[in-house]
Structure formats: C-alpha cells, structure tokens
Chain A
C-alpha cells in the first residue's frame, strides 16, 4: 500500500504558499500605508481598515466563484491569512443559504470558522492571563 503512495511536492507547495502568503502581507502593508496617509489616521486605525478591506475582497471573490481556484493554486498562502477565515465563512454561507436563514445560513455559517473562533478566544484568554501574571497587565 505504502509503495504506491505518490510523493506530494511539499517543497514546491511550501514555496508557493510562502510567496503568495507574503504577497497578501505586502498588499496588507501597502493598504495600511495608503489608508494612514490618505485618510490621515493613525497606523493602528489604518490596519483595521486594511483587515476589513481584505475580508471584503476575499468574501467578494468567493461569492464570485473564483477564489476557491486561487486557494487551490496558492495552497495555504491564502488560507492562513485573514482571507482564509473570510473565505471559510462566505463559502459555508453560500452553500447553506438554500436551507433557509435559520437552519441553513444561521446554523452552518461557522461550520469551518467555528473552531478558529473558539480556540482564538481560548488562546487569547490564556495569553492574556499569562501576560497579567508575568508583566502585571
């Protein structure tokens, strides 16, 4: 059984993910700089604007139906950044829309994103406690 297992092109996949993930980072940085200069706001506010823009774009491209093909090509380069999170929620939303707003959309939209949110909240609490204990807040 083992000997017929094809070798995955791991290094190639990692390289594509590295480059495309990096590109998303570069776009994010450019957006932050752009918002900071253009709207004359602080970098912290600008980075929130940037996140909203990326989430919007990922959701829009998912809805238009070609984002899954990009993800397929870019491997984890588009899943690890916030674009992947938006993509997981939008794709579930589109899929379960047909079962109605409550039993479909409402109960399934966090199907993939639910674990990210749960463990995000838990780890935020955990590291927050660590910070409180070690650094005193």
Chain B
C-alpha cells in the first residue's frame, strides 16, 4: 500500500533527549537535553509522560502556535495502554488519536496525519512519540537495578520525546509519499536480537515502496531505518542484495547506529532502539539537513518489533513491521 500526497508539508519538529543520547554525537541538534532520568518526577512512567509533554510544548513554541491552532495529535509509545501519550496530551486538550506499532510508531503517526491533511479533513496535525530506557526495561525485561549481562546484539532503548508538526501550508519540505508496512514473521524469537527480527520487515517495506513507485534505491539521497543496530544493519544490506537484488549500501544508514557513539558508549551494545530512537535522529539532524537543502530526498523507514514478553515466554515468534515515508525538498 503506497500512496503519494499532494499538499502535506513538515512545518517543524521538536526533540527532547535524555542523558545517554546527550553524550552521543547528535547533542547539538536536539532542542533540549536533560541529565537525570527521573527528570524531576517520582517514577519512570511519569517522567516519560513529562518528557513527551515538553516536546509538544517546545514544538508549539517553535512554531508560534497556541493549543487551539492544532487540529489533531496522533501519538504512541511503548508503555502498556500508551499511557505516556495519553497523560501528556491531556495537558493540551487536543483532539487525540492513540496508535501503537512499537518502534515504527513515529512514521505511522506521520502517515496517518498526512493522510488526514491530504484528504482535507484537517489543516494540521502533530505526530509525536516517546520512549524511556528505564520504563521499557521495567515493563519488558528486568527491574532496572538488576544488572543481568546482555549479549552484543542487544539494543538500548533511547530516552526522549519527539514531536513533528505537519501542515497543508507550503514550507519547502514536502511529505511526498508513504508505504504502509505489513506484519512480517521471520521465525525469530530472541528478544536480545531485535535487529534480526526487524530487518526482514524493513526489507519488505523498502522493496514494495521502490517497486510501487518504479524507483531505484539511488533515487533517494538517504535511506534511514529506525533501530536495527549494528548487526541488523548488516543483515538488511545483505538481505536486500540476496533477496531482491537491490544494493542500498551506498546511501543507507540506521538511526540506532547514528544516535550513539558506539565506540565510546559501550553500554548501548548494538545501538539505540525504541520509538523515539528514529524520531530523535530524523526530527533533529535529518530535518536540519533537509532545511539546509544538503539532502533533498530522504526515505524514513521506522522499524518496529511487535514484542510481547508473554508471547515470547509462550514460545511464539516475535513479529515485526516497518512503515516508510518519503520527505522531499521542493522549491
């Protein structure tokens, strides 16, 4: 399912990043960073909601909008019942749509928002997402103070909140087209190797996007996957070549690899993950490159592992999904 948009544009975006992300190479591109993972709150969960709320507030400030100017917010995160999204949006009273597709949530939000705008139903929409390393560890793995060793393929959930404002007014950066992903099962069941779980989903979506629009990989200046990590990135390049005969190695990178300094930050193992991982990279440094017209055509492929601890304990496979959206600089 691939479609083109006529009049959807990116107005601006806001990113709030946590302490581990601030130590990485992208620090200067974030709107705000903070040092303490609690961020002045009593629990990890309320901290995550507060971070997401701040990203929306910063976005409103940057774009000089008031909360009455926003037609709809589409938001999702990793927490059960997407609580971070609900509790942060409640502060603003926007019309609210909650979504979930794990780490592919950011692009799903952009696809839905763009479709509402292009269909003429709303004139603008915010797509936002968040994740928090500690709240995710607590929900999906072990208590945060429990120091169980992890294998090298494990990824590190990024901490932060990110929001993007889409509009029907021409701003120079167009949301050009998008591809809705399919759920893929490649019989992977290792929660410490999400890169291998998600790479086939990313490959499927990139392949369908390119063939539906009759494009080759070099049509894009950059193809960015969400959070495959070091090993998932290698798998995807290899998979695209052997399965579909497409070479993406020249203009492809992964946000999970870009977010951290993998040489110095050993604690992140294979790289970043979480819904906010791709959003933090795309809405900061990549949007900046688009604004400066240093890159003109970018394909964002957010990848999500639809991972449930319950199903893994019941010996079911981990499913994955990837959504793609293409951003273009126009005159």
Residues in A lying within 8 Å of B, measured CB to CB? 1, 3-6, 8, 13, 62, 65, 67-72, 75-76, 79, 87-88, 90-92, 94-96, 98, 111-112
Contacts and interface: CB of A to CB of B under 8 A. Distances in A.
B153 A91 contact: no
Nearest to B186: A1
B151 A87 contact: no
Q: Tell me whether chain B's interface is mostly helix, strand or loop, or mixed.
A: loop
29 contacts: A1-B196, A3-B238, A4-B231, A5-B153, A6-B153, A8-B151, A13-B149, A62-B145, A65-B145, A67-B145, A67-B147, A70-B147, A71-B148, A75-B149, A79-B148, A87-B145, A87-B146, A87-B147, A88-B146, A91-B143, A91-B146, A91-B147, A95-B138, A95-B143, A95-B145, A96-B143, A112-B142, A112-B143, A112-B146
Nearest to A1: B196
Contacts of B188: 1
Contacts of A72: 147, 149
B182 interface: no
B243 to A, nearest CB: 12
Given A1-B196, A98-B43, A6 B145 contact: no
A71 B147 CA distance: 5
B212 interface: no
B231 A6 contact: yes
Contacts of B138: 95
Contacts of B151: 8
Given A4-B231, A5-B231, A94 B143 contact: yes
A36 B144 CA distance: 37
> Which of B42, B43, B145, B196 has the most CB atoms of chain A within a 10 A radius of its CB?
B145
> Which of B42, B43, B148 has the most CB atoms of chain A within a 10 A radius of its CB?
B148
B144 A95 contact: yes
B247 to A, nearest CB: 17
B235 interface: yes
Contacts of B234: 4
Given A6-B152, A79-B148, A91-B142, 6 more contacts: A1-B186, A4-B235, A6-B153, A8-B152, A72-B147, A87-B147
B147 A92 contact: no
Interface of B: 42-43, 138, 142-149, 151-153, 186, 188, 193, 196, 231, 234-235, 238
A116 to B, nearest CB: 13
Contacts of B231: 4-6
A95 B188 CA distance: 30
A1 B146 CA distance: 30
Contacts of B193: 5
Contact of A68 (B42, B145, B235): B145
A4 B188 CA distance: 14
A6 B196 CA distance: 12
Nearest to A7: B152
Contacts of A87: 145-147
B149 A71 contact: yes
A70 to B, nearest CB: 7
A3 B143 CA distance: 32
B149 A68 contact: no
A21 to B, nearest CB: 13
Given A4-B238, A6-B153, A95-B138, A69 B143 contact: no
Nearest to B149: A75
Given A13-B149, A71-B148, A72-B149, A111 B143 contact: yes
Contacts of A111: 143
Contacts of B152: 6, 8
Contacts of B145: 62, 65, 67-68, 87, 90-91, 94-95
Nearest to A8: B151
A38 B141 CA distance: 43
A92 B196 CA distance: 30
A9 B42 CA distance: 39
A92 B143 contact: yes
A68 B43 contact: no
